[in-house]
Structure 1
Amino acid sequence: MPTSNDMRKVLDIQDKNIVFEENCVEYGQFKGKKCKFIKGRLTYIPQECMKCHIPNEQYTVYCNGTQVSRITLPMSGVHPTYLLLKKQRFKCKECQATFTAKTPLLKEQCFISNPVKAQILDKSSMAQSVKDISRQIGVSEATTQRVINEQAKNYKTHYLWLPKHLSFDEFKYANSTMAFEYIDAEKGTIIDILPSRDSRTIKDHFLSQYGLKARKKVETVTVDMNAGYVNFIPVLFPNAKIIIDRFHIVQLINRSLNLTRVTVMNQFNTSNGEDMKKYRRLKRFWKKILKKESELSYTTYTYYALFGLRLESAIVDELLGYNTVLKETYEVYQTILMALEENDYDELVKILEKDYPLISKPMKTSLKTLKKHMKHIKNTVAYKYSNGKIEGINNKIKVLNRVAYGYRNFVNYKNRILLHFNMKPAATKQKEKTLFIAAQWLP
């Protein structure tokens, strides 16, 4: 039969004061579900009274019966597992107080073991809903959320300083409500998340939480082309330079060119055979029009549907030959991409200052928008910072929201996000991280 030491190893219990006897495992039912009960006994000789702290000499503190507690353990096998721990009770002759034996397996006045809480935190670092975590571990959803909220307090924002380089963005979390977040642009760590992205909420947050000295240390703030951010950033951060995210610049002209392609494509008479062929080609090979000209193949012949054996560059030339507006818009698009790739601000200014009568209306609107932000685009080519890290964070946040089918409580959602990004271990260090998390719950 297994010894007490073997049972402790199986259950990951380090307290040697917990003793298991033979035939200590039995099956039963709890809350209408079949479960596994493991009987154990906790006893030791206390060094002093827990109430008056008098030393235990000449049996000053003596045994005074037992008390049985049902403690939730990590699920063993396929059934919920509980430890029926018979705790020794003691009484002090000096103060007549009674107290119960304690164990590092769980906190005082708690019936959920620390290894269970460690499992909750470990699974919270993955893209799983609270309901799924609760089902896998065998605890209630309220317990799971309570453990997450308790641990999230360790990652509470300290409003004493700000990094030199910030990054702003927003994400949707419930009923089309947009939340605001800001991160360290260098390290990619989340600093804080606000329940709204409106200017008043953001300004009140920074003005009330951070002093002027901390805000003056901010050197750059990377944002998209949101006019609201651009307007209040100089007020909040007097020394900060605004950087327009490079991706959003490319995205702006990319969408304009693609919209031009769709407009040209819809002008064809699809009842005509030749026009139908052009329509199908523009619809099928839209990605090649948006591709950088420098990345097109000029030497390798490949078979393409609707074209046959062709060079990739030749296909793009033929597609552009269908319409003058599309061709002119494409050329402007490529020159802007080239200027951004080479970080040539002067060339970008020359491109935007030229008059292009033949380009499409969406591209004209995009160029007008870029001219409006030229002061900040200059910082884009001068600095290496972008919103790439915060966009990656937002993608993971959206996954958390999707697997949970949305969050009604913003605080719970925020705590889950903080836990997910601060506790997620590397794949090669999963076991070490789990042990570290478990150790944090031990007194």
Structure 2
Amino acid sequence: MKILLDIQDKNITIEEDSIQIKKHQEILAKFISAKLTYTPTHCECCGVKNENYTVYKNGTKTSRITLPMSGIYPTFLNLKKQRFFCKACNASFIARTSIVKEHCFISYHTRAKVLIKSTDAQSLTDIAKDCSVSTTTVQRIITTEAKKYKPYYHALPKHLSFDEFKYAKGQMAFEYVNGENGDILDILDRRDSHTIKNHFIANYQRRDLKKVETVTIDMNAGYVNVIQEVFPQAKIIIDRFHLVQLISRAMNMTRVRVMNSLRTSNGEDMKKYRRLKRYWRLLLKYKGDLSYTEYKYYRLFGQRLEVNVVEELLSYDANLKVNYNLYQSLLESIKEKDFKAFENILSTVNLNTVSRYMRTSVKTLKKHLPFIENSLSYPYSNGRIEGINNKIKVLNRVAYGYRNFNNFKSRIMLHFKLKAIVSQQKGSVYPAA
């Protein structure tokens, strides 16, 4: 029975026929009766040695200790703890055990189960239900454990990544991570320039700020001003994904404009409309990835090559073809990391021949041109921090939101910091006694 319950304390003995199944808080639960007793070597109150029965046994005190669920029932251990009385100081104390903290009724194994479950995308209510504890207890365990992973404000990595995520209605949080390994360094409850600037200046020394070599961001103008002021030696990198996303959206909006212009009572125009609406992904696909050899059946087209489908879609509007050629040229230069070609395309493009969506994108790219050069020269991106944000959104959605930002931050830090340890140790994580 002790092996089954993973009780390693040799001073605990389980009696015969000690298991009972009865109602507890209106649900059926399993109760296991056991006794904890031993002969102490000294008094825990005054420290006198136990010689000639200076410390003797003086009754028992029963504690109901929550264990991890055994089978389908919540499991509790009714542990009769031995009481001791000291003749030297006339004080009494209770026997201690390694399965539970002193003055606590939740076992270390249950606490470990709560922590392991908190590394997954589960709500506090589900964790509390699985571990037979309250949601307040779950949050308290998470908050206590998260304190071990407080931010280390004495050094900064050479490469940083900045981004933000939404944690409440109208509330955006700011986070920065190690650009090389994706380790979360800290999370702030606000993303305005004043808060970010004060955070770095107040917590880090000037020499640490000067050691930062690169900072990867999206096209947030507020971050640019903060980085230039706080990190004087750092080069700003615009994430390549956001560059591609900018021109892809402009191209897609151009397609939508052309498509809607063909929505008329004419049957031939409606056919073109349906084709542009159905095969929009082909127009956004990189031309080098289009198939030139494999014939496939395309609805509304028949048996065609993929490249022929794209050519026919572009033939519906001359302006659409001009925007497509510009889009593909920019996409190719980004893919090949050829900054000179990218700069040359922006400088030679005739803005009067492209759509207003693409015109706005070109102006934005020109504005960020010095930072785009760094994007195509350095291998760093915001891929890791975007993946972290995706998991954070899942945690927030599963929990139906957090009203307390500090509780949400503790859950995030524990989810990412402890999960790596759980994976390394294959689930054998136990908090220190």
The question of 1:229 aligning with 2:236 is answered: no
Equivalent position of 2:273 in the other structure: 279
Equivalent position amino acid for 2:2 in 1: R
What do residues 29-66 of structure 1 show as CA deviations (whole Å, max 9, x unaligned)? 22222211110000011111111112212222111111
Equivalent position of 1:139 in the other structure: 133
Q: Is the partner of 2:223 in helix, strand or coil? A: helix
Q: 1:411 aligns with which of 406, 412, 426?
A: 406
Q: Is the partner of 2:82 in helix, strand or coil? A: strand
Unaligned runs of 5+ in 1: 1-6
The question of 1:392 aligning with 2:387 is answered: yes
Structure 2 counterparts to residues 96-245 of structure 1, below 5 A: 96-245=90-239
Equivalent position amino acid for 1:383 in 2: Y
The question of 1:13 aligning with 2:12 is answered: no
Distance 1:426 1:311, change over 3 A: farther
The question of 1:33 aligning with 2:27 is answered: yes
Equivalent position amino acid for 1:246 in 2: R
1:425 Cα offset (Å): 4.8
Equivalent position amino acid for 2:166 in 1: K
CA RMSD after TM alignment: 1.2
Q: 1:248 aligns with which of 242, 245, 250?
A: 242
Q: 1:363 aligns with which of 358, 361, 369?
A: 358
Q: Is the partner of 2:16 in helix, strand or coil? A: coil
1:354 Cα offset (Å): 1.2
For the residues of structure 2 that align with 1:382 and 1:97, how far apart are their CA atoms? 73
Q: Is the partner of 2:177 in helix, strand or coil? A: strand
Equivalent position amino acid for 2:356 in 1: K
Q: TM-score, normalization: structure 2? A: 0.98
Aligned-pair identity (%):
57
The answer to whether the 8 Å contact 2:176/2:184 transfers is yes
Equivalent position amino acid for 1:410 in 2: F
Equivalent position of 1:3 in the other structure: none
Q: Is the partner of 2:201 in helix, strand or coil? A: helix
For the residues of structure 2 that align with 1:269 and 1:369, how far apart are their CA atoms? 31
Q: Is the partner of 1:197 in helix, strand or coil? A: coil
The answer to whether the 8 Å contact 1:118/1:434 transfers is no
Q: 2:397 aligns with which of 369, 379, 402?
A: 402
Equivalent position amino acid for 1:114 in 2: Y
Q: 1:259 aligns with which of 243, 253, 256?
A: 253
Q: Is the partner of 1:266 in helix, strand or coil? A: helix
The question of 1:95 aligning with 2:104 is answered: no
Equivalent position amino acid for 2:415 in 1: H
Equivalent position amino acid for 1:359 in 2: V
The answer to whether the 8 Å contact 2:196/2:226 transfers is no
Q: How many residues align?
A: 432
For the residues of structure 1 that align with 2:427 and 2:98, how far apart are their CA atoms? 17
1:433 Cα offset (Å): 3.6
For the residues of structure 2 that align with 1:327 and 1:161, how far apart are their CA atoms? 51
The answer to whether the 8 Å contact 2:146/2:413 transfers is yes
What do residues 109-150 of structure 1 show as CA deviations (whole Å, max 9, x unaligned)? 100001001000010010111111111111110011111111
Q: Is the partner of 1:21 in helix, strand or coil? A: strand
4+ residue segments displaced more than 6 Å: none
Unaligned runs of 5+ in 2: none
1:426 Cα offset (Å): 8.7
Equivalent position amino acid for 2:236 in 1: I
For the residues of structure 2 that align with 1:60 and 1:213, how far apart are their CA atoms? 62
What do residues 282-339 of structure 1 show as CA deviations (whole Å, max 9, x unaligned)? 0000000000000001111111000001110011011011111110011011111111
